[in-house]
Amino acid sequence: MRHMMAMLALVVGAVSLPARAALPPQLFKPEWLLPRVTVDVARSEREVLPRAPTDLSKVSYSFAGATHTLESFKERGSVKSLMVLHEGKVVYEHHRWPYDAGSRHQSWSLMKQMLSALVGVAIAEGKIKSVDDPMDRYAPELANNGFAKVSFRHALLMSSGVRFDEDVERINLFMETIAHRYSLGRMGMTLRQQILTPEVKSAQVPGARYDYVSINSQAIAMALEAATGQPVHRLLRDKLWKPMGLPDDAKVLTDATGRDFTFCCLYATTRSYAAFGQLYAQGGRWKGKPLLSEDWVRRSTTFADPQSWHAKAVPRNGKTMDLFGYGYHWFVLEGDRGDFTGSGIQGQSIYVSPRQNVVVVRMSDDYTVGSHNEEAVFMARAVADHLAGPVKPAHPAATGRSRRSR
């Protein structure tokens, strides 16, 4: 209790401070102060991800003029948990004490990729007519600020045009909800109030420029929930967790009113993240059944959509090369390998190479600038090549080239 009260004093006090001075990342644990709702599962004895242990000790890769190994990356990248799938089987698994296979890890922005999948499901089911529909068609309240006329496509591609300082205001999304909860509504704001505040203004024409802002994901969730009549955590359960037969419960952070955080803050096991990656490696099919449209997966994770963004237009913390482009809330990797990755701060990632049928999940507490994210791609690609051999060229129709290379 004393520890929680000290944390509460720090966080609530930080509401009035500049966000960069609020808290060091090691202490920022929003689940200590905000409620979570369970994404529950029906327990099953069936093994969702069978095992085929493989020796990866000889995997090496070159990065920044040096040669590294998988083992050295785990140390340098502060890896808590690492799982590798090949052809849907667990070939490698590592957990650093005190974590184990049942530990739930904070997703940070990996939740954005889950949200993207749910939008795809809603479109396939006809709940949302088109990715080009304005979100305010489903949630009319969004028409009263900078989200007016912003389409799902614009928000998924991080080109909504709304003015939002990601480094500062992303932290404020937490701080305001925490202050609201512990002041019983006398201070702060709910997530809904923050999404709909008139202070969220349009800074440029939607679609004009890539600008990674997390409030886009909250606006998407508001429109998605209005279209489906279900909260995001229930959609996760009914459209992903249960159809896939995932064996582990997950949790989603909420504000005091029960609204889900959707720009972050899913708490799930490494094998749940890995299974989600495998769903995408298989083009949206699971156990032979389509859970996601193959076209949605392709447009989300390649440059097939002409409005997607090549890496030259995508700034990132710690960027040293043009590697990470952007699709529908997924980072599309440059090159001719056809691979892509989900990414969250502090080194969370779900790397997927569909042509090699390899998934690499990294859970870390990496506080360095850039969180070794570029190197993590080189590591994962080396693992994929070791397991499956060199990437085979794709059929030209399987990929698209975006015009957004400026």
Judged against a pLDDT cut of 80, whether residue 18 lies above it is answered with no
Q: Is 50 exceeded by the pLDDT of residue 17?
A: no
Distance CA 201, CA 98 (A): 44
Q: Around 93, how many Cα atoms within 13 Å sit in the side-chain half-sphere? A: 18
pLDDT tens readout for residues 352-395: 999 999 999 999 999 999 999 999 999 999 999 999 999 987 76
51-103+270-406 and 104-268: same fold? yes
Give yes or no for residue 125 having a pLDDT over 60. yes
- What's 104-268's CATH class? alpha beta
Helical H runs in 204-333? 215-228, 232-235, 242-244, 270-281, 294-301
Give yes or no for a contact between 224 and 115, defined as CB atoms under 8 angstroms apart. yes
Q: How confident is the model at residue 1 (pLDDT cuts 50, 70, 90)?
A: very low
Quick one: pLDDT band at residue 273, thresholds 50, 70, 90?
A: very high
With contact defined as beta carbons under 8 Å apart, do 326 and 210 qualify? yes
**13 CB neighbour count, 10 Å cutoff:** 13
Q: At what angle do helices 215-228 and 166-182 cross, to 10 degrees?
A: 60
Give the Cα separation of 285 and 271 in Å (integer).
17
Fold assignment, 51-103+270-406: Beta-lactamase (3.40.710)
Instruction: Give residue 95's Cα distance to chain centre.
Output: 21
CA dist 395 and 202 (Å) reads 40
Query: Can you tell me whether residue 331 is helix, strand or coil?
Result: strand
Question: Among all chains, which residue has been given the structure tokens 């499901």?
Answer: 121
Query: CA-CA distance, 159 to 302, in Å (whole number)?
Result: 17
**Residue 23 clears pLDDT 90, i.e. is over it:** no
In the chain, where the domains are located:
51-103+270-406, 104-268
138: pLDDT confidence band, cut at 50, 70 and 90? very high
Which pTM was predicted? 0.93
Contact between 93 and 259 (Cβ < 8 Å) = no
**R_g of the chain, CA atoms, integer Å:** 20
